[in-house]
């Protein structure tokens, strides 16, 4: 997956209506200061498109980042696309013409949205503000028609919080299997990585694979791109 262009297209506040997007959406969900904006910047290959801060609670809106990317198709998808496009094959001047060559079938431009949701669990805000942010997140996850996947971010240094567990269970009940991304990989030693991953799995009661990610050195970036590739061509 190669990012060709990216922009912040829409910002939704508490009273805003969600945009009627036509492209797939991937939501980034997690507690305040877990690194959602940093992950989005790393994936989009931008330093500061999504605003980051060392202070929790920076993202207080739902931000839609539109990305134009070059997606590499899997072998199975290439074959299915080729079979489908055989029906579109036409004849001109005695020659067979096809809308796509074999090289075209391997890669294709696509647009999608990375949706940065407000962080939950930030202590230094009012109870009412927490409720408002919670309603924004819930409304989006319930109402988005193009939501393909939810990335749930947790801090690899710590056990998932009660809010992390509640969010994971809530996402499952909505029919999604979240992709769990353990951020801040550069903050721990390699020797303890497997133990920290095991703890996260135990706390969330899941056997799903967990992607460890570092915004500093981009470890885990290609694994996330691979998931996005598969989502876009099977969704």
Q: What is the pLDDT of residues 69-102, one digit of tens each?
A: 887 665 554 444 433 444 444 434 444 444 544 5
Q: How far apart are CA 11 and CA 57, in angstroms?
A: 16
Q: Which of 58-67, 131-140, 197-206 has the lowest mean pLDDT?
A: 131-140
pLDDT at 227: 92
Residue 196 in contact with residue 182, Cβ under 8 Å?
yes
- The answer to whether residue 16 scores a pLDDT higher than 90 is no
Residue 235 pLDDT = 56
State the pLDDT at residue 54.
54
Beta strands in 93-132 (DSSP E): 95-97, 107-116
Q: Output the six-digit token pair for 159.
A: 């056990």
Q: How far is the C-alpha of 99 from the C-alpha of 118, rounded, in Å?
A: 43
Of 89-98, 168-177, 202-211, 225-234, the least confident? 89-98
Mean pLDDT of 199-204: 97
Helix (H) or strand (E) holding 83: helix 75-86
Question: Could you tell me the sign of the dihedral formed by the alpha carbons of 37, 59, 119, 115, in that order?
Answer: negative
SS3 category, 214: coil
As to burial, measured by CB atoms within 10 angstroms (0-12 exposed, 13-18 middle, 19+ buried), residue 161 is middle
pTM: 0.80
Structural domains of the chain sorted by starting position, each given as residue range(s) with its CATH number in brackets: 2-78+100-234 (3.40.50.300)
Average pLDDT score over the chain:
81
Contact 44, 6 (CB under 8 A): yes
CA distance 47 to 38: 8
């Amino acid at each position: 997956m190669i990012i060709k262009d990216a922009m912040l297209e829409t910002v939704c506040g508490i009273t805003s209506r969600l945009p009627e997007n036509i492209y797939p959406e991937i939501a980034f969900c997690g507690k305040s200061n877990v690194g959602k904006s940093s992950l989005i910047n790393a994936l989009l290959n931008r330093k500061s498109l999504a605003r980051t801060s060392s202070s929790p609670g920076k993202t207080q809106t739902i931000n839609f980042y539109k990305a134009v990317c070059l997606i590499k198709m899997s072998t199975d998808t290439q074959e299915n696309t080729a079979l489908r496009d055989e029906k579109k094959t036409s004849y001109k001047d005695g020659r067979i013409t096809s809308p796509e060559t074999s090289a075209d079938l391997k890669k294709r431009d696509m647009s999608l949205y990375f949706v940065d949701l407000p962080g939950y669990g930030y202590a230094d805000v009012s109870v009412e503000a927490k409720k408002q942010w919670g309603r924004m997140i819930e409304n989006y996850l319930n109402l988005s028609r193009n939501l393909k996947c939810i990335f749930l971010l947790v801090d690899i240094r710590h056990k998932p919080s009660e809010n992390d567990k509640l969010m994971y269970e809530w996402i499952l009940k909505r029919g999604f299997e979240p992709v769990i991304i353990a951020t801040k990989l550069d903050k721990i030693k390699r020797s303890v990585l497997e133990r920290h991953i095991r703890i996260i799995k135990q706390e969330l009661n899941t056997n799903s694979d967990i992607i460890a990610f570092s915004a500093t050195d981009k470890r885990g970036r290609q694994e996330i791109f691979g998931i996005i590739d598969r989502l876009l061509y099977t969704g």
